[in-house]
Amino acid sequence: KAGVTQTPRYLIKTRGQQVTLSCSPISGHRSVSWYQQTPGQGLQFLFEYFSETQRNKGNFPGRFSGRQFSNSRSEMNVSTLELGDSALYLCASSLEWLGASSDTQYFGPGTRLTVL
């Protein structure tokens, strides 16, 4: 079974631009969560999507948004990029949503975003 895939793997943008990242979960998984990983803050939860609905949300500004499609693929968008948005963005998939059961999350390789 194929794992979680993320595209693109690397991205360079300038301040003020917007970016869209894509994540395809493991086949059969309906929950997709997004995380931001930086050396200073570690792994921080952004939000979770399940059945095309945002189920849970972390403490990030509204510039960070996402959506999920009927095939469970998810996209994350960051608008008006700031230097501090440079990070590794990871998505993780699981069978059920985070509140339904204690379900293992499996991660993709991440997208390395650099904001200049």
Partner 1 sequence: GESVGLHLPTLSVQEGDNSIINCAYSNSASDYFIWYKQESGKGPQFIIDIRSNMDKRQGQRVTVLLNKTVKHLSLQIAATQPGDSAVYFCAENARPSGTYKYIFGTGTRLKVLA
Contact footprint for partner 1 (CB under 8 A): 4, 6, 33, 42-43, 45, 48, 55-58, 90, 92, 97-99, 102, 104-110
Instruction: Please give the Cα distance from 73 to 23 (Å, whole number).
Output: 6
What is the smallest separation between the CB atom of 28 and partner 1, expressed in angstroms? 16
Helix (H, G, I), strand (E, B) or coil at 83: helix
Query: Shortest gap between Cβ of 57 and partner 1 (angstroms)?
Result: 7
Main-chain dihedrals φ then ψ at residue 85, nearest 5 degrees: -85, -5
Contact in structure between 92 and 64 (CB atoms under 8 Å): no
CB 106 within 8 A of CB 94: yes
Angle at 113 between CA 96 and CA 49, to 5 degrees: 20
Min separation Cβ 100 and partner 1, Å: 9
Q: Which is nearer to partner 1, 41 or 77 (CB)?
A: 41
Taking the least distance from each CB to partner 1, the nearer of 14 and 52 is 52
Query: Which of 15/109 has CB closer to partner 1?
Result: 109
CB of 85 to partner 1, least distance (A): 19
